[in-house]
């Protein structure tokens, strides 16, 4: 099959994005398409695959997000901004409710974070603390700034569903080897965590600045994870490290977002939705392989505008 897509990113979290409204694929085929297009050794590459899908009675459009291993995520807030931009352009609107796998989120075009940076406001949640919904067993009903014995570490974690599951630890300094080890332990889907989880280490740089590094379920160590930044912001408020309702800058390896968490557990993110290039690629679904690629258009001005933001964030 031939597949047209936009290569895009939200805060450095990069994806091929396809218009799923025109594709009649089974769930298995979507997983195969994700593995083919997101393969870093292939012609496209990405942290996963995004699909703009049809709306419903509550939503103008929907989003599906598949990790690079083909598993489908409940949400991806960096990806949602990209899908929202595609939906706005397709439908000629600038705000909407978007349908996710297990929830809905409000999205709207927003004032640029920086010159020439297309910016989306997204409101997601409520963040949930009920461990039975993950499920995560053996840690009680909630885990807030407490050890998780099954992980085999003395680190204190806060468990937040956004609605995908996140384990957030606040650290003085991020040790990527330690983070990767803990993430890989969750990635094995042990009996106590059968659906796996995202694991984040978070530095509180000052009362208005967080730095987040995430081992993402189904992806691995990633430069950025939007739902992890939302979960980390909420966890920081919940544990008294920052104040509910206060705007904070959340830094990551890919750049930044602006965020705030409300006492009702809703989290607002302001971040980029950057187009990098558009292309058409042949895909062998049977073998999960992408082949011949044609680049149709490049968005060099957008790439340059975001590079200035990312360089300043670093």
Catalytic sites, residue numbers: 76, 225
Burial class (CB in 10 A: 0-12, 13-18, 19+), 68: buried
CB 190 within 8 A of CB 150: yes
By the 10 Å C-beta count (0-12 exposed, 13-18 middle, 19+ buried), 171 is classed as: middle
d(CA 63, CA 81): 10
Considering only CA atoms, which of 42, 29, 27 is closest in space to residue 16? 42
CB within 8 Å of 1: residues ≥ 6 apart: 282, 283, 285
C-alpha 187/C-alpha 198 separation (Å) is: 9
* Bridging pattern class, strands 48-54 and 13-19: parallel
């Amino acid at each position: 099959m031939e597949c047209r897509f936009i290569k895009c990113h939200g805060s450095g979290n990069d994806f091929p994005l396809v218009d799923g409204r025109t594709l009649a694929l089974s769930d298995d085929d979507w997983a195969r398409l994700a593995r083919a297009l997101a393969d870093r050794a292939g012609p496209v590459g990405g942290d996963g695959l995004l699909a703009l899908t049809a709306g419903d009675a509550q939503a103008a459009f929907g989003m599906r997000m598949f990790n690079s291993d083909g598993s489908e995520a409940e949400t991806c807030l960096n990806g949602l901004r990209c899908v929202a931009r595609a939906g706005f352009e397709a439908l000629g609107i600038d705000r909407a409710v978007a349908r996710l796998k297990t929830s809905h989120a409000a999205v709207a075009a927003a004032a640029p974070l920086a010159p020439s940076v297309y910016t989306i406001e997204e409101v997601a949640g409520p963040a949930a603390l009920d461990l039975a919904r993950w499920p995560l067993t053996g840690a009680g009903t909630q885990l807030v700034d407490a050890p998780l014995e099954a992980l085999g570490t003395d680190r204190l974690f806060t468990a937040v569903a956004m609605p995908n599951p996140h384990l957030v630890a606040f650290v003085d300094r991020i040790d990527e080897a330690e983070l990767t080890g803990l993430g890989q332990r969750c990635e094995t889907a042990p009996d106590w965590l059968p659906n796996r989880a995202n694991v984040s280490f978070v530095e509180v740089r000052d009362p208005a600045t967080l730095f987040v590094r995430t081992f993402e379920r189904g992806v691995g160590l990633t430069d950025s994870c939007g739902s992890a930044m939302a979960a980390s912001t909420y966890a920081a408020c919940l544990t008294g490290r920052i104040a509910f309702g206060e705007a904070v800058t959340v830094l990551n390896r890919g750049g930044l977002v602006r965020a705030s968490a409300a006492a009702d557990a809703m989290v607002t993110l302001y971040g980029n939705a950057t187009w990098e290039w558009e292309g058409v690629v042949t895909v062998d679904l049977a073998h999960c392989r992408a082949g011949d690629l044609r680049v149709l258009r490049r968005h060099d001005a957008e790439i340059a505008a975001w590079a200035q933001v990312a360089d300043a964030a670093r």
